[in-house]
Structure 1
Amino acid sequence: MKKNVFISILLVGLLGVLAACGSSSASSTDGERTITLGYFPNINHVPAMVAKAEGYYQEQLGDNITIEYKTFPDGSSFMTALKTGEIEAGLVGPGPAMNHYTTGTDVKIIAGGSTGGTVVLARDGSGIETVEDIAGKTFITPRVGCTHDVQFETYMKEAGITSNRTGGSMSQATGKPAQYEALFESGEIDVAVAPEPWASVLHQEAGAHVIIGADEVSFGQTLPASVLVTSGDMVEQDSEMIQQIVDAHKQAITFINENPEEAKEITITDIEEETGQALSKEVIDGAWGNIGFTYEVNANEVQAFGDSSYDLKFLKEQPDFSDLIDTQFID
């Protein structure tokens, strides 16, 4: 009798383990699910802000889906969240997506989000007036090897100036873009490689000088500045939900391009809620001119960017991104 009871308990426990192993990264109860979408509080990620504010995600996914949102300060923390199942999808810079893909992370770029938006500025009083003056100075980016970092260092290498990471003279610091103004004021850094709208904040409110414009920096007008990503497992296991997320994303981009003033107001509100910083309409207007919004992805530019990341020693091996991009949801 005791033996039969023990076997029954063992079977119940085993079934529980098997059920847990088969569950999705999104929580579900009686047909209802909770999914989490990620993005950054900057202008390259406006499609996520608009889709959230206008209810496009909810409209596409349906009432049985509870949607939660999580913002990130940099691509590394975003990619960690994607790997661990903390988020199901979201917007991130192409650099982190590529870097993590090369180390075996299960990630798929399923749509573009924006282009442009990376500006290089010098602190007032730094003595920097030209690109050549940056040699020997300290620059800041959100993260080592992030999209903005690769764009800047590619440009600088072509000018014959490299960072001390690769034997050159420039020193690098990293930090949240919303903190760059304070770092300029303290004199801790000389050059900021800033995504919008923080570039416009530095220019308009801190008196920083634009040294390399968004249309000049490497890959500035051709590389996706943000991409919509998910995991390959999500694509295989729940392609219907991924299609719904992409459809909401496309709705948002259409809204942005047709209603820029309304999109700007949404951006100002969302950034203040997420960062506590209230940006003026003038700052947003200035930043908007450096950004383009599209869900298309240029695979050749993604590969060229990856090759440059390898050349700059951010990647250990020559990358092959032929399987990174999946355009089935936007075609």
Structure 2
Amino acid sequence: MKKFAGILMVGMLLILGACGGDDQASGAGEKETVTIGYFPNLNHAPAMVAKQKEMYKDHLGDNVNVEYKTFPNGSTFMKALASGDIEGGLVGPGPAMNSFISGVDVQIIGASSTGGTVIVSRDGSGIKSWKDIKGKTFISPRVGCTHDVQFETYMKNKGITSDRIGGSMKHVTGEPARYKSMFEKGDVDVATAPEPWASVMEKKIDANVVIPTSDVSFGETLPAAVFVTSSKMAENNSERTQKLIDAHKEAVKYINQNPDEAIDITINGIADITGQTLDKSVIENAWKRTNFTYKVNENVIQQFGNSSHNLEFLKEKPDFTGFVNKSFIQ
């Protein structure tokens, strides 16, 4: 009887061992995928550096397949986050705020950079200062996006508003990579330009800097891009979320320690997405207007939201309780 029991036990162990071997083989061939989103803008350089240096892959481990998806604007990015097409990534604070207020499950868990928004005018438009913008046409990536709010806040403080709220400025939208051609055609007079596109227009078509980064509203304090994910991801998969933000932090630190190489990576990253290879001198000029940091100031986020409400982009004054989660960047 004991002999039979021993044979039975050995048989069970062999079966279990075989099952375990099959599971491991199956698991090895079925990696889980994490998708990171970002834009072809200078403020999103940490994503390009992390991609090039495989930082997300290093932090997430061999059992995770890392993919990247790029977006032309914050609206499409936020739709992808809400639908689960991406797990997180970099987006402007404006679209993230609007989505949070609308009930979308999104949390800011880190910043990417500050600065980098420049207001430029078309050569020949006659616009040399903010006083000349009244009655002119300006362009931003989207209505109510980060750069739009920064510009319209500045102009409203000067007593000039857009036609959207009964003012004289005409507002159109378009991708920043197309700003240069729209200036050349004379379709628009002023651009709320995220870097490096402001520097591109300065160098290539003699665009004039009307409002520098240091002067435009929230120019040096508001995160120009933030790292976001869903609160569901942050709460239910905190270990993976921490690995994502650790990789992002590593990329930000790398940029600050190796600016020359980071500039080259950014040039190549933008070229891969837009087909435009930018001069290094252009990126170097844009780099001076950008401060790369992963730290978030939630007070500035609230101030920016209040300004969005004052400009009537938001119907109600926003409450950002629970929007910024700093636990992963401590």
With the length of structure 1 as denominator, give the TM-score of the two structures.
0.91
1:323, CA displacement in angstroms?
1.0
Asked if residue 216 in structure 1 is aligned to residue 215 in structure 2, the reply is yes
Structure 1 residue 322, shift from structure 2 partner: 2.2
Alignment-derived partner of residue 284 in structure 1: 283
> Structure 2 counterpart of 1:60, which letter?
H
> Aligned runs of 1:1-331 on 2, under 5 Å?
32-331=31-330
* Stretches of structure 2 lacking an aligned partner (at least 5 in a row): 1-26
Q: After superposition, what is the alpha-carbon deviation per residue over 1:89-139, rounded to whole angstroms, capped at 9, x for unaligned?
A: 000000000011001000000001100000000100101111011000000
Distance 2:298 2:33 in 1: 32
Counterparts of 1:89 and 1:327 in 2: how far apart (Å)?
15
Aligned-partner Cα distance in 2 for 1:232–1:204: 42
In the alignment, the residues of structure 2 paired with residue 301 and residue 50 of structure 1 have an alpha-carbon distance, to the nearest angstrom, of 27
- Partners of 1:101 and 1:90 lie apart in 2 by 15
Q: Deviations over 1:163-203 (max 9, x none)?
A: 00000000001000000000000000000110000000011
Between the two proteins, what is the percent identity of the paired residues?
Answer: 59
Residue 71 of structure 1 aligns with an amino acid whose one-letter code is T
Separation in structure 2 between the aligned mates of residue 224 and residue 183 of structure 1, nearest angstrom: 27
Q: String of CA shifts for 1:22-53, please: whole Å, max 9, x gaps.
A: xxxxxx98762011100000100001111111
Query: TM-score by structure 2 length?
Result: 0.91
Equivalent position of 2:3 in the other structure: none
**Aligned residues of 2:137 and 2:189 also touching (Cα < 8 A):** yes
C-alpha contact (below 8 Å) 2:28/2:63 kept by paired residues: no
Which residue identity lines up with residue 47 of structure 1 in the other structure? Answer: P
What RMSD over aligned residues (CA atoms) do the two structures have, in Å?
1.0
- Whether the 8 Å CA contact 2:147–2:194 is kept in 1: the answer is yes
Aligned residues: 304
Quote the Cα distance in structure 2 between the aligned partners of 1:130 and 1:245: 42
AA aligned to 1:310 is H
In structure 2, what is the Cα distance between the partners aligned to 1:110 and 1:136? Answer: 40
Structure 2 CA distance for aligned equivalents of residues 29 and 319 of structure 1: 46
The runs of 5 or more residues in structure 1 that have no matched partner are 1-27
